[in-house]
């Protein structure tokens, strides 16, 4: 059966759910890696992408209480915060000398902040830094903005677009299964709603990313179902740019009794994602969650993008991540070159800023 799947991959044929479940049972990680790498090479050759960005989390006050999250706080709890516009601008000014091209803004579902707060942040940032791409608000946040403002998803997205929003990050997807969402995050947008927000965003011309949070209580069947739902929507809209598998970090969460995923599990998820998501141009390794060494190694397992310099990551670090809070461009270049690939600095929409071929 594996031979038949291998031939399908080399012929460029789409893999089925059954194929995926067969691959899951395969313990030959190098075989899976070879197939995934072949797809990566077809799509992006020797290029490996990265960008120079900064993360900003406007608030950690959240009504959602997801069991897997260590970042969210009650409004009056120790460590709860909401950034003022001044706080936000200060952080961006600090990053300007690093030549960032993107602000990645993800927050929480705050009980009382109005939609206008988020709208004003985008409007002010766009006016003050028109050259920066604003990748902001997960589909779950967009759904929440619609609820708190009484607007439709389309209206919320259109307003944010006018204000200067450039694209949407892929967070909040977790695993689409209603069994998982009922258990881990019953208060926030369902899997169907997440997909609906993304469909609407794509219709309005936004590019977006997609993620999957794995390594908690989900089954492989549920992971495959998640990937197939993404593939199905991508067939219809073509609006997804990259897929980012996110390994669960249990520390300080309600699921703290669970163990971190192993490197083998991480690479298996990455290879199978690359093989199933044949209509996604990019598979991104978020080095903050994987660790830089495993993220580097994942380039031989289907990954073509190492995300960015990041700077100040709070969500995974609240959950015990031991990685640095940011990385220099030089370190990213060195890691990519060491694997024999050509580093390419990109902007958020994958326009090439610089190919580092000459000093290969
Ligand atoms: O939505 C929450 C996840 C996401 C934990 O689009 C956790 O380019 C691990 O979506 N352990 C936010 N993960 C991060 C995210 C992201 C990151 C990098 C790039 C992009 C992109 C998107 O982190 C959340 C949730 O799915 N998360 N808690 C945790 N304990």
pLDDT, one tens digit per residue, over 244-303 is 999 999 999 999 999 999 999 999 999 999 999 999 999 999 999 999 999 999 999 999
**Looking at the domain assignment, is residue 91 inside a domain?**
yes
Beta strands in the chain (DSSP E): 47-51, 53-56, 102-105, 133-136, 167-168, 207-214, 240-247, 282-283, 305-308, 342-346, 352-355
State residue 360's pLDDT score: 46
**Looking at the domain assignment, is residue 332 inside a domain?**
yes
Pocket, ligand 1, Cβ cutoff 6 A = 68-70, 106, 138, 169-172, 174, 209, 211, 213, 244, 246, 248-249, 253, 286, 289, 307, 315-316, 319
Residue 16 has pLDDT above 60, yes or no: yes
Distance from C-alpha of 319 to C-alpha of 324, rounded to nearest angstrom: 14
Greater pLDDT, 177 or 327: 177
Domain range for residue 270? 2-7+17-355
Whether pTM exceeds 0.80: yes
**Looking at the domain assignment, is residue 12 inside a domain?**
no
pLDDT, one tens digit per residue, over 292-329 is 999 999 999 999 999 999 888 899 999 999 998 889 99
Instruction: Provide the number of structural domains found in the chain.
Output: 1
- Is 18 exposed, middle or buried, given 0-12, 13-18 or 19+ CB atoms closer than 10 A? exposed
State residue 359's pLDDT score: 53
**Looking at the domain assignment, is residue 273 inside a domain?**
yes
Q: Atom of ligand 1 at shortest distance to CA of 253?
A: 30
The domain that holds 26 is classified in CATH as 3.20.20.70
**Looking at the domain assignment, is residue 160 inside a domain?**
yes
**Looking at the domain assignment, is residue 175 inside a domain?**
yes
**Looking at the domain assignment, is residue 360 inside a domain?**
no
Q: Atom of ligand 1 at shortest distance to CA of 284?
A: 8
Q: How far is CA 232 from the centre of its chain?
A: 18
Ligand 1 probe mutation, 171, 250, 309, most atoms within 8 A of CB: 171
Burial 238-250 (b: 16+ CB within 10 A, else e): ebbbbbbbbbbbb
């Amino acid at each position: 059966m594996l031979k038949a799947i291998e031939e399908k991959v080399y012929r460029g044929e789409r893999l089925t759910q059954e194929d995926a479940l067969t691959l899951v049972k395969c313990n030959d990680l190098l075989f899976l890696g070879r197939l995934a790498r072949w797809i990566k090479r077809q799509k992006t050759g020797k290029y490996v992408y990265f960008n120079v960005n900064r993360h900003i989390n406007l608030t950690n006050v959240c009504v959602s209480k997801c069991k897997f999250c260590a970042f969210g706080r009650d409004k009056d709890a120790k460590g709860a915060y909401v950034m003022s516009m001044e706080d936000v601008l200060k952080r961006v000014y600090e990053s300007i000398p690093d030549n960032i091209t993107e602000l990645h803004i993800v927050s929480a579902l705050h009980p009382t902040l109005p939609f206008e707060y988020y709208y004003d942040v985008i409007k002010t940032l766009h006016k003050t830094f028109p050259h920066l791409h604003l990748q902001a608000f997960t589909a779950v946040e967009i759904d929440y903005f619609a609820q708190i403002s009484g607007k439709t998803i389309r209206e919320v997205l259109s307003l944010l677009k006018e204000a200067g929003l450039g694209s949407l990050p892929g967070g909040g997807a977790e695993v689409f299964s209603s069994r998982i969402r009922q258990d881990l995050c019953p208060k926030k947008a369902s899997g169907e709603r997440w997909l609906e927000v993304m469909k609407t965003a794509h219709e309005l011309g936004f590019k977006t990313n997609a993620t999957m949070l794995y390594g908690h209580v989900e089954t492989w069947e549920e992971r495959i179902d998640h990937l197939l739902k993404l593939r199905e929507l991508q067939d219809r809209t073509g609006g997804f740019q990259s897929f980012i598998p996110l390994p669960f970090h249990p520390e300080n969460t309600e699921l703290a009794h669970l163990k971190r995923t192993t490197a083998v599990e991480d690479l298996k998820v990455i290879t199978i994602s690359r093989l199933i998501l044949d209509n996604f141009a990019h598979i991104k390794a978020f080095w903050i969650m994987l660790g830089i060494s495993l993220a580097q190694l994942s380039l031989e397992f289907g990954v073509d993008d190492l995300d960015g310099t990041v700077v100040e990551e709070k969500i995974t670090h609240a959950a015990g991540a031991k990685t640095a809070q940011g990385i220099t461009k030089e370190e990213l270049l060195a890691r990519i070159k060491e694997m024999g690939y050509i580093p390419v600095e990109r902007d958020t929409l994958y326009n090439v800023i610089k190919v580092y071929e000459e000093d290969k």
